[in-house]
């Protein structure tokens, strides 16, 4: 499993894809936080916080994470190496987890440089250090869990097809629905008392909860359950090839 994990990491870093994902993510976030005028701009806003990072990043992830995961199994199926991969002395779940952690590692690599924004704003505060560190690191954890959830969705859609574009579009649509769809349904007035339950099914409610700096067990259970659900679906998707 570890050798497959390293192979996937090398595959990302030996192509332009890994570097493009990291550069695009940091460039987009950096432009909104420091260059483009508006409420997300740290210098224009006048307060020592980087909330804009955690508002913008999920929408960037909606497209970048599927771009990372779209080739996970789709490329293997198109090239015909999926049979060779499945005959290795690894269980289907070990193969899935190796690809999952490799893709998540790339997401993590893209997030780590954003800590520079934290230290910059920390020093820019008046007085220095006048920053809600708890809220920042809670939001950072939430963003990691959000990224991991999108990775599990992308791995699943990649296992369904040998077309990377179809995998990409499927991952974007499912991720967008889970992140925004339930919140939209929640806003419908006629749902009444059921609305709160429906809202709790969406990613956005739990991401917002963690972003307040309070790590609630219910939010952690939600994210890990969501990841486990899509990884299990991926296992079933691979198993159907043997039927």
CA angle 77, 80, 84 (to 5 degrees): 100
Confidence of residue 230 (pLDDT cuts 50, 70, 90): very high
> At residue 32, does pLDDT exceed 70?
yes
Q: Is the pLDDT of residue 236 over 60?
A: yes
Q: What does pLDDT average to over the chain?
A: 83
Confidence band for 157, pLDDT divided at 50, 70 and 90: very high
Label residue 7 by pLDDT band (50, 70, 90).
Answer: confident
Most confident residue range from 9-23, 24-38, 63-77: 63-77
In the chain the beta strands, taken as DSSP E runs, fall at none
Burial class (CB in 10 A: 0-12, 13-18, 19+), 153: buried
Per-residue pLDDT tens for 67-123? 989 888 887 777 777 777 767 777 888 889 999 999 999 899 888 888 888 887 777
Cis peptide before 127 (omega within 30 of 0): yes
Residue with tokens 């925004």: 180
138 and 45 Cβ atoms separated by less than 8 Å: no
Taking only the tens place, the pLDDT of each residue in 122-153 is 777 666 666 677 778 888 899 999 999 999 99
Domain ranges of the chain: 2-242
Residues in Cβ contact with 147 at an 8 Å cutoff, skipping those fewer than 6 apart: 61, 65, 104, 107, 108, 111
Annotate 85-124 with b (16+ C-beta within 10 A) or e (fewer): bbeeebebeebbbbbbbbbbbbbebbbeebeebbeebbee
pLDDT at 188: 67
Taking the C-alpha atoms of residue 58 and residue 37, their distance in angstroms, rounded to an integer, is: 20
Alpha-carbon distance values, 205 to 90, 130, 140, 168, 210 (Å): 37, 27, 15, 24, 9
Question: Mean pLDDT throughout 15-27?
Answer: 83
* Counts for the chain of helices (H) and strands (E), in that order: 14, 0
């Amino acid at each position: 499993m570890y050798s497959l994990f390293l192979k996937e990491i090398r595959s990302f870093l030996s192509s332009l894809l890994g570097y493009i994902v990291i550069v695009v993510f940091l460039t987009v976030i950096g432009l909104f936080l420091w260059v483009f005028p508006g409420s997300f701009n740290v210098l224009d806003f006048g307060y020592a916080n980087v909330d804009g990072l955690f508002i913008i990043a999920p929408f960037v992830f909606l497209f970048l994470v599927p771009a990372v995961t779209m080739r996970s199994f789709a490329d293997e199926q198109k090239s015909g190496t999926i049979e060779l991969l499945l005959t290795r002395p690894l269980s289907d779940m070990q193969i899935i987890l190796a690809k999952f952690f490799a893709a998540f590692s790339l997401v993590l690599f893209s997030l780590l440089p954003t800590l520079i924004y934290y230290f910059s704003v920390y020093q820019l505060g008046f007085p220095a250090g006048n920053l809600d560190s708890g809220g920042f690191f809670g939001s950072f954890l939430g963003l990691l869990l959000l990224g991991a959830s999108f990775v599990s969705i992308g791995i699943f859609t990649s296992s369904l097809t040998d077309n990377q574009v179809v995998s990409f579009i499927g991952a974007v649509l499912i991720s967008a629905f889970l992140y925004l769809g339930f919140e939209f349904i929640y806003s419908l007035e006629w749902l009444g008392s059921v609305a709160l339950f429906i809202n709790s099914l969406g990613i956005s409610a739990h991401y917002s909860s963690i972003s307040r700096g309070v790590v609630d067990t219910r939010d952690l259970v939600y994210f890990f359950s969501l990841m486990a659900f899509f990884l299990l679906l991926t296992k079933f998707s691979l198993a159907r090839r043997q039927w």
